[in-house]
Amino acid sequence: MKRARTDEAKEDRRAALLKAALDTFYEHGFRAARMDDIARRAGVSKGAVYLYFDSKDALFEALIEDLATPNIERAEAIMRSAPSFDMAVTQFAAFAPYMLQETDLPKLMKILVGDSQFFPDVISNYRRNNLERLIGALKTLLTEAHARGEIDAPDADLTARLIVAPMAFAGMWQAVFGRDPEAAMDLPALFALHAANIRKALRPEAPE
């Protein structure tokens, strides 16, 4: 393999290793994943992996770290920029299928669930810095819309979780059954229906 002398080349190789690790962990699980496979998939020798990561554990931790941040920031931006609750819900319904089908999110979800036991701290951080932050942003949105009388959602926390739930459901479904064409789901339709349901369920009752 050519030597990665420049910083940029090093960064590329690091990224290739993380992508290879993601796919390998997804396909085999953390324990069954072989460093050798990850190395080969990244087009690098076994020994070279250790030039970039101290250990298999460190590789896993770096992987989660790396994948976590971008998504959450995008989601927060959507919620902050939406002019109304309805618009936010609409955008969420459009964004969710994309996330589940075009990004590595389902793979990440499966890895987090399947291998969480090895890295309690990583998992705990992920929950706090990503899931709770996402739910928190949703809660803010709900609370403000409720205050404006736009929706009727007295319990913002639980409501936020119910809004998010289909993403968890569809993501896991994708991750676990995704290879089986028989199990395919129409995600855009699912989330469009979900958005409609949410809007209707949160619609303030017209006063008599």
Residues forming the site for DNA (CB under 7 A): 1-5, 10, 13, 32-36, 44-48, 50-51, 55-57
Select the binding partner of residue 179 from DNA, a copy of itself, none (C-beta < 5 to 8 A, by kind): a copy of itself
- Looking up tokens 């931006």, which residue turns up? 77
Select the binding partner of residue 156 from DNA, a copy of itself, none (C-beta < 5 to 8 A, by kind): none
Residue 205: phi and psi, rounded to 5, are -70, 130
**Residue 148: DSSP 8-state:** T
Q: How far apart are CA 193 and CA 141, in angstroms?
A: 20
Select the binding partner of residue 162 from a copy of itself, DNA, none (C-beta < 5 to 8 A, by kind): a copy of itself
Least separation, in Å, of the C-beta of 34 and DNA?
4
Question: Where in 102-131 is the site for a copy of itself (CB under 8 A)?
Answer: 110, 112-118, 120, 123-124, 127
Select the binding partner of residue 151 from DNA, a copy of itself, none (C-beta < 5 to 8 A, by kind): none
Least separation, in Å, of the C-beta of 81 and a copy of itself?
26
Least separation, in Å, of the C-beta of 129 and DNA?
25
Question: Where in 7-46 is the site for a copy of itself (CB under 8 A)?
Answer: 27-32
Crossing angle between the packed helical segments 187-202 and 156-177, to the nearest 10 degrees? 170
Q: How far apart are CA 198 and CA 192, in angstroms?
A: 10
**Does residue 186 bind a copy of itself (CB under 8 A)?**
yes
Least separation, in Å, of the C-beta of 188 and a copy of itself?
11
Q: Looking at beta carbons only, is 45 or 124 nearer to DNA?
A: 45
Q: How far apart are CA 109 and CA 171, in angstroms?
A: 7
- Looking up tokens 């069954």, which residue turns up? 32
Count of all residues that appear for the chain in the document: 208
- The CB-side HSE value for 18 (13 A sphere, CA atoms) comes to 18
Helix ranges (H only) for 82-152 are: 85-102, 105-115, 120-126, 132-147
Least separation, in Å, of the C-beta of 26 and DNA?
15
- What residue type is assigned to position 5 of the chain? R
- The CB-side HSE value for 5 (13 A sphere, CA atoms) comes to 1
Q: Which residues bind a copy of itself (CB under 8 A)?
A: 27-32, 110, 112-118, 120, 123-124, 127, 155, 158-159, 161-162, 164-166, 168-170, 172-173, 175-177, 179-180, 183, 185-186, 189-190, 193-194, 196-198, 200-203
